[in-house]
Every structure is written in structure tokens, then in C-alpha cells.
Amino acid sequence: MNKIQNKIWTVSTIVLVIMSSIWITLTYYHNKSLNQYNDILQRYLSMNEVTDASQQVINDLNDYMLHPSLDNLEQIELSKREVQQAKNNVNHLRNEINDFTLTNYIHLIDSFIETTNRFIIFYEENEVEESAREFAEATSISNHISDMTLTLIDKELETYDQFYLGIMEQSRDLRELGIWLLILIAFSLLVFSYLFSRSITKPVLQLTKAANELSKGRFDVQVKIDTKDEIAFLANTFDHMRKNINKLFQETKQKAKLEQELQHNRILLQESQFRSLQSQINPHFLFNTLNTLSKKAYLEGSHETSDLLVNVAGLLRYNLKQMDRTVPLGEEVIVLKQYMEIQKARLTDRLHFHLVVDEECLAVPIPTLILQPLIENAVIHGIEPKEEGGAIWVRIKDYREQVKIEIEDNGMGMEAEKMEQLLNSKLKSGDSTSTGIGFRNVVERLRLYYGFDEVIKMESIVGSFTKIVLHIPKQNGGSNDAGTNR
């Protein structure tokens, strides 16, 4: 992530480097010009030193003639060495333009030194005329040296006249360059300042706009910022917060909707329970009447009629129970037997019933009214349509983790499409048998209670048999536990 502070430091560094580069460049050319000026001045001074040194020698010779002494002689030697040193310095000033003149100038200096030496020799030998002539010669050569020095300086001035013009033009160009660079840097800084401030203020304005939209309840406004600095991190955090608020808002709306539906269902349930209580008044009256008739038939000696009425009353009592409760498997078996006694009384020898039960599994809880509707379906649609009738086998076997219930008949059978319809079609209003509980009602209640579709399976061959297998887990189901044994 590129921090804003890093951007500022980067820009400051770039500006500092540019300004430093300009300052170093200008300083370099300025020093170069100064060095060139110093070199030229040094050339002039070196030439002038020859003139001064030769004049000093003439003065020392004159003092020596007036006051011959060892000190004055040593002073002459010192001045001669200065002339020699000045000659060596001038010799380094040679170039193509002054080569010839400078050569003559060097020879003239050598001649001056030789004349001075001869003067000293003649003067020490007391040759007055010869020494006077050499002194006059030395003075004349010194004057020639002065004249030639001026000539060399004039040539130097001619030589460096174009150089002076170049230096002046270069100074002017550097000054103009400095002004243009200053303008360019100032303009660049203004442009960058605008872009840099815009890169900060634009995302901030976007965040402000998004915050205003969020305050108005619009949670669908996405905040997208392409920068990679702290503002982008802030924008991403804000957008994540917006999504969380939107998610929470949607969940709250969904929860409110569910609560509203739940409240509506509660009202419907209360109404249905009230209507159920109303509808149970007549069945209870019928149940009591059947018990009275059963006792009367028993007292009159009609035992079969009495047993039949008892079975009908028991079946009626069991059907009056609430559908959302569970019962031990043993109760389902008892109701199953009562129902089959009623059907055997109706169909006589056309119906045969075989029941095999492992007693260990009779206490396993199971939703109410499961077996009887399945047996009723086998009787009505499997056995009754056959003229010769048939048999029904019910086998209840106990396994380690489940109870396996097999209901098989050798009746009419059914096609695969019919089985698919019974197992997978949705329950419709009016889909029921004579007891009021339909086959598909049983299928849906079993799957809802135990939570898996394989709790019931079917196989059938048309005209041969139909077999239903229930796999009942021994632990309670998940969806209706709250209603167990109420």
C-alpha cells in the first residue's frame, strides 16, 4: 500500500533532487568560468612578473655599482633567480598563436641574464668601461622585455577576445536557462499539487457522497476507489461496512417477514385447533354410542358383533389423537390388528393377514397413524379388486440401529409411474382414504420427521405384488421432537 506520506516524501525528494541538480550545474559552470578567468589573469601576471623581475635586477645592479658589497651582490643573485623563475612560468603559456613571439621573448630573457652576469664579472675586474657598457646593455634589454611583455599581453587579449564573448554568452544562456527551469519547475509543481490534492479530495468526496446515500437508507451504492493508499483502505472498509449493514438489514427484513408469517400461522393453528375441538364433539358422541352398542350386543350374546364394535371404537379413538405426536410402535400394531379385524369381517375369506413382530422393538417411538393407512392402501387397492382376494404380510424386525417394517401383499400391484407419483408427488387437498389419512400424507410425514427420503421404499410388479419397506431409526426424529408424547 502506497501511503500518502510516502507520496509526499517522494515528491519532496524529486523536487529537492531537481533543485540540487540545477544548483550544482549552475555552480559548475560558474566555477568553470571563474577558473578560466583566473587562468587568463595568471597568464597576465606571469608575463608582468618577468618585467618586474628584470627591473628589479637593474635596480640591484645600480645599487651594487654605487655601493659594492657582498649583500648587494647576493641581492643581485636573488633577483636573477626570480627572473629565471618568471621565465619558466612564462614558458608554460606557449600556444600556436604566440609560439614565435614567446620564443623570442625567452631568448631575450636569457640574453638579459647573460648580460647581467658579464656586468658582474667586468665590474669585479675593475673594467669600468666594459662594465658600464654591459650595464647599459642590460638596461636596454630590460626595456625591450617590458615592451615585448606588452606585445604578448596584446596578443593574449586578441586571443581571448572571442573567449570573453563566449563566456558572456554562456553566462547569458545560463541565466535564461535558470529562468526557464524555474518557470518549468513552478508550473510542474502547480500541476502536481493539483493532481495530488485531487487524488486525495476526489476519493474523500466519493466517500462523503456514499455516506450521504447510506444515511438515506440506500445500501446498494458501491464505493470503488482505484488508489492504493490509506484512503483506498478506508473506502474498502466503508464498503465492507455497507455490505454488512445491507446484509443485516435484509436479514432483519426477512426475520420480520418470518415472524409475521409465524404469527399468521399461529392464528391459523389456533383457529384449526378450535375447529378440531368442535369437530371432535360428534365423533366423541359416536365413540360413546359405539361403546354402549358393544356392551348391549355382548349382553345379548352377539360376541362377534360386540368385538367388531369394540374394534371400530378403538380405531375411532386412535384417529382422534393429534397428528403431531409420537406413539410407541406397539400402539400402531394394536390399531393395525383392530383395523384388520374390521376388514376381515367385511371381506371374510378373501383376506388373509400374517403378522410377524420382534417384541424388542415395540417400544420404539414412531409418528402416529403410519401403519394403518399403508395397510388400508394395500387392502383397498391391492386385495379388494381381486375376485379371489389375497394376503397381506407385515414383518417388523429389530436391528441394531433401526427397525425394519415390511408390508407386502400379493394383490393387483402397480406400475412404476404410479409408485413414483405416490412417493414424490406433493400432497393435495382431499388426498385421503376412508380413515382420512392418505398414503402420500404418510410419506411426507415420515420424511419430514426423520429427515431423509429413504425412510420409505416401494417395489411392485403389476398383477403380482406390492412391497413397502420402512427404515425407522431407533432415535427420535428431528423435526417433530417438540411434539413427542404431548
Q: Could you give the percent of the chain with pLDDT greater than 90?
A: 15
Give the separation between CA 192 and CA 10, rounded to whole angstroms: 12
Provide the pLDDT for residue 485.
40
Of 447 and 213, the one with more pLDDT: 447
Of 145-149, 312-316, 386-390, the range with the highest mean pLDDT is 386-390
For residue range 98-148, what is the model confidence (pLDDT) as tens digits?
Answer: 677 778 878 888 888 888 888 888 888 888 788 888 888 888 888 888 888
Element (H, E) at 75: helix 70-91
Tell me 478's DSSP state. Answer: S
- What confidence tier does 429 reach under pLDDT thresholds 50, 70, 90? very low
CB 353 within 8 Å of CB 340: yes
Is pLDDT above 50 for 215? yes
CB 293: neighbour CB atoms within 10 A?
A: 16
Read off the C-alpha cell for 484: 413427542
Long-range CB contacts for residues 291-296, cutoff 8 Å, separation at least 24: none
Is pLDDT above 70 for 484? no
How big is the CA angle at 24 (ends 18 and 29), to the nearest 5 degrees?
A: 130
- What confidence tier does 280 reach under pLDDT thresholds 50, 70, 90? very low
Average pLDDT in the 199-216 region? 77
Average model confidence (pLDDT) across the chain? 78
Using CB atoms within 10 A of its CB, is residue 54 exposed (0-12), middle (13-18) or buried (19+)?
Answer: buried
Read off the C-alpha cell for 161: 577576445
Give the separation between CA 299 and CA 296, rounded to whole angstroms: 5
Of 215 and 365, the one with more pLDDT: 365
* Domains (range + CATH), the chain: 4-159 (1.20.120.1730), 349-483 (3.30.565.10)
Average pLDDT in the 175-204 region? 80
Residue 365: name the closest of 444, 446, 432 by CA.
446
Task: Provide the 3-class DSSP secondary structure of residue 160.
Answer: coil
At 103, which amino acid appears?
A: T
**Residue 180's Cα: distance from chain center in Å?**
45
Q: Could you give the percent of the chain with pLDDT greater than 70?
A: 74
CB 446 within 8 Å of CB 407: no
Is pLDDT above 80 for 479? no
Spatial neighbors of 446 by CB under 8 A, at least 6 apart, are 367, 370, 455, 456, 470
Average pLDDT in the 405-423 region? 92
DSSP3 helix / strand / coil % (the chain, rounded to 5): 70, 10, 20
CB 274: neighbour CB atoms within 10 A?
A: 10
Residue 309: name the closest of 333, 341, 352 by CA.
341
Is pLDDT above 50 for 435? no
CB 381: neighbour CB atoms within 10 A?
A: 18
Give the separation between CA 155 and CA 105, rounded to whole angstroms: 13
- What confidence tier does 464 reach under pLDDT thresholds 50, 70, 90? very high
Mean pLDDT is lowest, of 224-238, 252-266, 361-375, for 224-238
For residue range 242-273, what is the model confidence (pLDDT) as tens digits?
Answer: 778 878 888 888 888 888 877 876 765 565 45
Give the separation between CA 296 and CA 244, rounded to whole angstroms: 74
Mean pLDDT is lowest, of 58-72, 313-327, 368-382, 444-458, for 313-327
Is pLDDT above 80 for 448? yes
- What confidence tier does 351 reach under pLDDT thresholds 50, 70, 90? very high
Give the separation between CA 267 and CA 254, rounded to whole angstroms: 20
